[in-house]
Structure 1
Amino acid sequence: MGALAALNLAGCGGSTESVIDPNVLVDANFDTLAGWIPDAMNGTLTREKAHSGNYALKVDGTHEYSLGYTAPLGNLSGTRIKKIKVSAWAFLVTGASASLVVTVGNPATPAEKPLMWEGLPLEKSASPGKWVEISKVITLPENILPTYTLGLYLWRTAGTQPVYLDDLRVTIEP
C-alpha cells in the first residue's frame, strides 16, 4: 500500500444500531471520514456518487489507489480469524477496471510481500452505470498472528474512468 493513508474505518459511518455484532470487523460507508483525512488523499473520498450517505471511495486516472484501511487482527477480534467475508457496493463506468484488495501482512516486516494478497476484480461482477454488490469469502493463512494487519484498499487496474466503492463490510465467516 506504500503511500496510502492508513485509516481505521471500523465504526466509521454505517449502521446506527445499538446492538453490536461481534462478527463484524469493518463497517464503513465513508461518510464520517470527511475532514479527518489528509489533503493528499481527499481526491479518493468523493461526493460525486455514493451508494448510501454522501461519500464513497473513488479511483480514476489521477488516483490509482484509494484511502486504505489497516488494523491488527488482534484488535478486530479476540479469537483467531479463519475466514472473512468482504462485501461492498461498486459503481463502474464502461472501460473502467479496479479491484478491492485485501491483504494480511506482518507489520514487523513492512517491506516484505504480504502473507496474503487477494484482489476482487470489480468489473467481473459489476454492470456499468449501476451500483452492484460484490462479495467474496476469503480463507486467511493458518500462520497469521494477532499482530498481523488486515489491509483493504481500492486499486485502479486499468483505464482512467472513475470507479466508486461504498458500504464496505468485513465479517467473520464460520
Structure 2
Amino acid sequence: MLTGMSSDPENQIGVGTPDAFQRLWTPHRMAYIQGEGKPSGPGAGDGCPFCSIPARSDEDSLIIARAERVYAVLNLYPYNGGHLLVVPYRHVADYTELTADETAELAEFTKRAMTAVRTAAGAHGFNIGLNQGAVAGAGIAAHLHQHVVPRWGGDANFMPVIGHTKVLPQLLAETRRLLADAWPV
C-alpha cells in the first residue's frame, strides 16, 4: 500500500490508476540523484559537464550568455525557476585558483545574471553562492560554479516542506530564451 492511502481496499489506488493528483512525479531528478553527468575524476578530461557544455550550441546547452572567461548557464536541477550558474571556462575547483581577470568577470556576470532575472521575471531577491567541495554541498566539486537563485516573496510554498520538491512552471528552454533576451550587454 502507498503511504497516505486509505486502509479501505475499495479506496486504494494502484499503479496506473488515476489518482486525482495525489502523487507528485519528478522523474528528471533521478539523473541527479544517481549522479549522472558527474565527472569521474578531478581533471578536465574526466567527463566534466562544465567543460563540455560550451562546445554545444547555446540552445542545446542552455547557455544564456558567454564572455571571454566565464559563461552563464541554467541549472539542470534548479531550486527555483531561473536558477542559473556562472561558470569559468577553465577547469578549477577552488575560488582561490581563479585569476584576477576570471574573478572580475565572474562577479560582473553575476551582476548581469541578477539584472536579466529581474528584467525577465521580476525576482524580488537572490541567493548567490559557491559550494566549495563535496562536503559543502557542491554537486560537481571539481569545477567551480556560482549559483544565482532568484527568489520571490512567498516562493517557499508547501511543496518544499511537504513534498521535498520544487514546482517549476516553465520548461528550461523557455526560461533560457527569456533570460538570454533580457541579458544586459
TM over 0.5: no
Larger Rg: 2
TM-score by length of 1: 0.30
- From the two aligned structures, give the one with the greater strand fraction: 1
TM-score by length of 2: 0.28
Query: Which gives a bigger RCO, structure 1 or 2 (Cα 8 Å, sep 6+)?
Result: 1
